[in-house]
Structure formats: C-alpha cells, structure tokens
Amino acid sequence: MRGVYSSVTDQRRKVFTEVARLAFEGGDYSRMEDLSYKIVPGDVAIHRESIFLERAIVEERLRLAIGLPLRDVSEHAPVSRGINESAIAEKYYDPPLINVISFACNSCPTFHYHVTDICQGCLENPCKEVCPKGAIEIRHGKSVIDMDKCIKCGRCKDVCPYGAILKVERPCARACGMDAIGSDEHGRAKIDYERCVSCGMCLVNCPFGAIAEKGQIFQLIHAMKTGRRVVAIVAPAFYGQFGPKVTPEKLTSVMRSVGFADVAEVAVGADLCAIEEAKDFLENVPGKLDFLATSCCPAWSSMAKRLFPELAQNISMALTPMVLTARLEKNNDPDCMVCFIGPCSAKKLEASRKTIRSYVDFVLTFEELMGIFDAKEVDLNDLSGMEDIPLDKGTGAGRGFAVSGGVAAAVTREIEKMAPDREIKTASAQGLAECRKLLQMAKAHKYDGYLLEGMGCPGGCVAGAGTLCAVNKAAMGIERYKKQAPLKDSSETAYIADLKVLEEMTNEI
C-alpha cells in the first residue's frame, strides 16, 4: 500500500537494493544465492510459517527484479540461473511482466457475501425477505447464507440495519479493473494475460506481497558501467516521492551521484503531447470521430483497444510524454541511452513495444530507483553538499499530467487557444473499472463531441504501482509543483520548434 511502510514494502525495498548492489559490485554473480539469507536473516520466521518459505519468496522476488522468470516449483534450479545472460546493458522485458509468486499467495476467499457476528437476529429479517433466491435462512437466531443458492446480488447487504453482512473480495481481484484475476486449481490467484494490461494495481493491493513485476535495475547499472551516457527522463509525479530534500533543483545532482549522465523532465513531453492531442481533437471531432480519448496512460489505452476494438481509432495517435521526451534526448544525442523513471508499471510494457524500443532503453519505477539510492548509500535527508541544477522547464499544465483530470485540462486549454469559439466538453475516469464504464457510455453515444481522459490508476499517475508516498500527499505536492512553474500553458513551452522533428523520427536510431 502506497504511503505505508509495511513489511512487504520493506522486503521489496531490500530486494531492489541488493539487486542494485550486486550489479554495481559485479564479479561472480553466483553469490546471488546468498542474498535471501541477508534479506531474511536468522532461523525464526517472522511473517510466514517457516523461514524457508520466507527466503523462497525473496528468491523469486530477486529473480523478477533482475528481469528473470519465476522458477518452476516442481523442478530444482539455482536462484542465479540465467543471471549471467542478464548481466548485459540491453535487455527488454520478457512476458509476463506482472507475476504471481504462487506459494506466497494466501488463496484469499473469492467474491461472496458473509454474515458476521454483528448479526442481531432481528425480527424483520429484511435480508431474508429481499433475497430473490431464498438463499438466507435463520438458524439459532442468526442469518445464514446458502452459497449454493446465492447469486451475489448484494441486496441482503444493502438492507441489513446493522451492517452485519460484508461483501468479501480478494484484494487483488477487487483492484483489477480488467477482471483478469482468477484462481488456479489450488485456489491461488492466477492472472489472465489475455486481459491484463500491467497496470500493477493487483501488485500494490495484495497484502501478502504475492505479486511482483519484472525490473531492469540490473541492466541499467550494467549500461552505466560500460561507459554509455545514460539519461534519466523523470515523470512529473516524482515531486515529493523521495522526501522534502529532493527538490527539482537537487534531483539532477542526486541522479548524477548514482551514475546518470543527465536528467530531463517528462513534463516537457507532456506539453508537446497536449498540443498534439488538441490538434488531433480539432481535426477529427466531430467530423471524423464521435469523440477523442487521450493516449498518455498505457493501461487505459491498452484496455480500450482490447475491450473496445471498434473504438481504437478514437484513441489519440499523439505520442505519449515518455516517448516524446525520449525522442528529444535521442535527437540531441543518438548514442545516449534513455531511462524513463516514473510511477507506472504499465510504462514497462509500453517501452517494450517494437516501435518504442529504439527510444526508451530502460523503465524504472520510483520504488526501484530508491533501491539504487540505498545501494549507493545516498543520504536523501542531507543533500547540503549537492549542487542546485534547474531541470528542463515543463509548464504547469505539463506537470499536471501526474494527477487525474490534468491531461484533459491541459488539452482543453490548448483547444481553447486554437479555436476560441469552440465549446469543449470533457469527461474523465480514474481506475480501469471506471474507465470501462466511461467507454461503454461513449460507445452508446453518450459522449459524442467530448474529449475523454482515462487514467488506469485511481488518482492518476501519483497513484501508480511504483510510487512511494501516500496518494493524497503526492497529489497535493503536484499542485505545489504546478504553481512553481514559471510557464502555465503547454503552448508556452520552448520545445514547440522540436515537435515536427520528433514526430518524423524513425526507428533507425
């Protein structure tokens, strides 16, 4: 859970730190076999039924953090199997990106309604009266639900005067807006990868830490060690993620201290994206398209194209802020390597696409970057000796892409500038379940003429799976960051002249 430093958070952080340290130190990588003993010391289990299980889970986390696949539980294999082949400067994600560590799963109860001890056995028995299938009977003065008859309509819960009936759901399944979480033959969570869009919401909502994503920390550090110039392009949601001392002015110095050559602000790409989507809207709505949907959230756009293929053309063709910023860096230095750092696990999936691989070499989350800081023993609470270096200035509108509603607001502002007499109607949704409802309404022509914004994470990018601080705190920080911007609207950016060049760049880099 974002903003709560739990045992699961602690273990994830330690895994990322040890993987980063392993890469920085180099040498014989077979010592990876010892890392689970370092992360889970002693001989007494703290969180699971045995110390061996705790270490086994950590071992799988270590493999995923390096980009390696989970091992088959039925076969013997060393933890370090495949690590030497992964100790390279270039490696894209092998599917699947999001993984369930089966023996870490608690096999949580699937969706049902449960009568708790709060039941008072009231005389009216409204729960029994409203049940359309006669699934509730009174035993020993208490309501009991017959699960074989129950159709899970929830009417009993709604009418209980004591709130004694609970809707019970698996946290991972409840968080999945794609209904991609099912069960295997043992009742453990299983992901349907035909539906999964790698938003990572199951990952951050599993209270047992049974779900983890693959990483590129290992490969990024190897790229740095080869002497390649690695540029970090940082999503605007970074503001406040690493504590109050890591200001925008300190960020570049902090990043350089761990091996990055330079830092660029993805808010610059967000500004260019807003301009392009405004043009896209004016050129196509309503003449060619009933509505236009924003493109910057990969989980949202992937969901739309998978579940509503007939609406795929309504998703803006504008390049995302990540890609535009990466192209800007590659245009300035074709030999550099670009690492996107942000809150989102779905960006890893986006960057692995063949059309994008030439521009975005690595994707790390804020959480993974913190592991690198810890491995290099950077004290984020004392940066007094580090130089203040201004970031490339994104506008307030570009920085606002980090929160729900921010994309639509930026695009709308640009449309108003381009066509002052045009009335702009917008609608937005956050979380894939709500995004699906939005598109269902759009399919039914309820949003003809609208600009639609979808965000895969509830709250926007500040609520992404790879964030470090509480969502509400991060959102307030973005508002401050927006106000600090000397330029307010996307069209005020100094990079408009580069836009045509960036659009024309091919994958020849």
> pLDDT tens across 379-404, in order?
999 999 899 999 878 999 999 999 99
In eight-state DSSP terms, residue 387 is: P
Instruction: Report the range of poorest mean pLDDT among 236-240, 310-314, 395-399, 494-498.
Output: 494-498
Look at the domain 112-168 and name its fold: Alpha-Beta Plaits (3.30.70)
Virtual CA dihedral for 18, 22, 25, 30, nearest 10 degrees? 140
Q: What is the mean pLDDT of the chain?
A: 95
Q: Which has more confidence, 1 or 309?
A: 309
Instruction: Report the range of poorest mean pLDDT among 93-97, 241-245, 467-471.
Output: 93-97
Q: How many CB atoms lie within 10 A of CB 500?
A: 8
450-455 vs 292-293, strand pairing mode? parallel
Distances (CA, A) of 411 to 342, 489, 492: 21, 10, 13
pLDDT of residue 1: 63
Instruction: Report the range of poorest mean pLDDT among 96-110, 189-203, 461-475, 489-503.
Output: 489-503
Q: Is 230 helix (H, G, I), strand (E, B) or coil?
A: strand
Q: How many CB atoms lie within 10 A of CB 232?
A: 26
Residue 56 in tokens: 């086994």
DSSP run (H or E) holding 363: strand 362-365
Residue 19 in tokens: 């993987």
Residue 355 reports pLDDT greater than 80: yes
**What backbone phi and psi angles, to 5 degrees, belong to 430?**
-130, 135
Residue 2 reports pLDDT greater than 80: no
Question: Cα angle vertex 355, ends 349, 360, to 5°?
Answer: 60
Rounded CA-CA distance 80/59 in Å is: 9
Burial class (CB in 10 A: 0-12, 13-18, 19+), 347: buried
Q: Which has more confidence, 501 or 155?
A: 155
Closest among 279, 312, 268, 315 to 296, alpha carbons compared: 315
Q: What is the pLDDT of residues 14-69, one digit of tens each?
A: 999 999 999 999 999 999 999 999 999 999 999 999 999 999 999 999 999 999 99
pLDDT of residue 507: 47
Residue 508 reports pLDDT greater than 60: no
**What backbone phi and psi angles, to 5 degrees, belong to 407?**
-65, -50
pLDDT of residue 377: 97
Q: What percent of the chain has pLDDT over 90?
A: 91
Which residues is 99 bridged to in the sheet? Answer: 212
Contacts by residues 380-386 (CB-CB < 8 Å, ≥ 24 positions apart) = 380/242, 380/243, 380/245, 380/246, 380/254, 381/243, 381/245, 382/245, 383/245, 383/246, 383/250, 383/253, 383/254, 386/250, 386/253, 386/254, 386/257
Residue 506 reports pLDDT greater than 90: no
Residue 422 reports pLDDT greater than 90: yes
Q: How confident is the model at residue 432 (pLDDT cuts 50, 70, 90)?
A: very high
pTM recorded for the entire structure: 0.94
Amino acid, res. 110 = T
Overall average pLDDT of the 351-371 stretch = 94
Rounded CA-CA distance 222/67 in Å is: 13
pLDDT of residue 503: 75
Q: What is the CATH number of domain 219-504?
A: 3.40.950.10
Overall average pLDDT of the 257-264 stretch = 97
Q: How confident is the model at residue 509 (pLDDT cuts 50, 70, 90)?
A: very low
DSSP symbols for 46-113: SSSS-HHHHHHHHHHHHHHHHTPPPPPTTS---TTTTHHHH-SS--PPPSPSEEE-GGG------SEE
Q: What is the pLDDT of residues 434-458, one digit of tens each?
A: 999 999 999 999 999 999 999 999 9
